[in-house]
Structure 1
Amino acid sequence: MGNPNPELKSFIERLRSEFNQTLDALLDMPQDYLDEPCGHGCARGGSVRDLLVHNIFHEKQHSGQVWSIRDQLRILQGWDRQDLPMLLADYTTSRAQLIASLFGLTDEQLDAKPPDGGWTVRETLEHVLYWDRNSIDTLQAEFEQAKQQER
């Protein structure tokens, strides 16, 4: 039958291959080279370490962007077949990643407006907290109502 997604397979292969090249280059660098100046624009005038930190978060940002696009298109694969323990594992991992993104922020940074005028960290967290609680409270009420109707 053949591969139904040849372009996707090609992208995945390219991402893996190029990342292997990245790892090969970085594994050959000594630890103390991280503090050397880096001329690439993504280092923003900083060091090799600054470039790598930028690249790591660049990956995370675009991973989130892909998940957001998939959510908007309603193509979050496989979740319709996951059982509750797997969903809870994913939920817990997602919350841990959100919490991990907060370590090291100052109180002032919680309210700093990004240059694009988007939400602050605090606004983002308030959004997550409100809608998570709202959605689960609604779910819980619906579940309780369904249990009452069964009686």
Structure 2
Amino acid sequence: MDTRLIKSLQQVEELLQATPQIQPGWKSKDECYQWIAGTLKHFRYRTLSKPEKGLIKRYLIVASGYSRAQITRLIKEYLNLGLLKRKQRTTKGFETKYSKADIRLLAETDRLHNGLNGPAIKKICERAYQRGDGRYKRLAGIS
């Protein structure tokens, strides 16, 4: 749906009554943030009454697909800074120790032994590796 055609609060209210959910028309989060900032600017969010602000907030939630809390944070950021800028976080995070194959092997071992407790499965993995099964190399040190 093309939301650029919506110019008045009356049209927003009609849209929300007619459609419970709108398919977003942007390709990236940056575009969505720009659209949200543009919408807040267009409707002069600062000058709206409380019911009108609630209407715009509902519109942003439905049209963007973001949660109420996220939209509230974005509105607050817009009111404080006058613009919305996405903060990209590209930290490495936790390093994976076990591969998907290890996880499948552990699940299969657990299934074959009818769901034994953790220490028993750990001992089985250790013994399997000690007897020469290389698949259990990482699982032999599991805690």
TM-score of the two chains, using structure 1 as the length reference: 0.26
Report the TM-score when normalising by structure 2.
0.27
Q: Which has the higher contact order (CA 8 A, sep 6+)?
A: 2
Which structure shows the higher helix fraction? 1
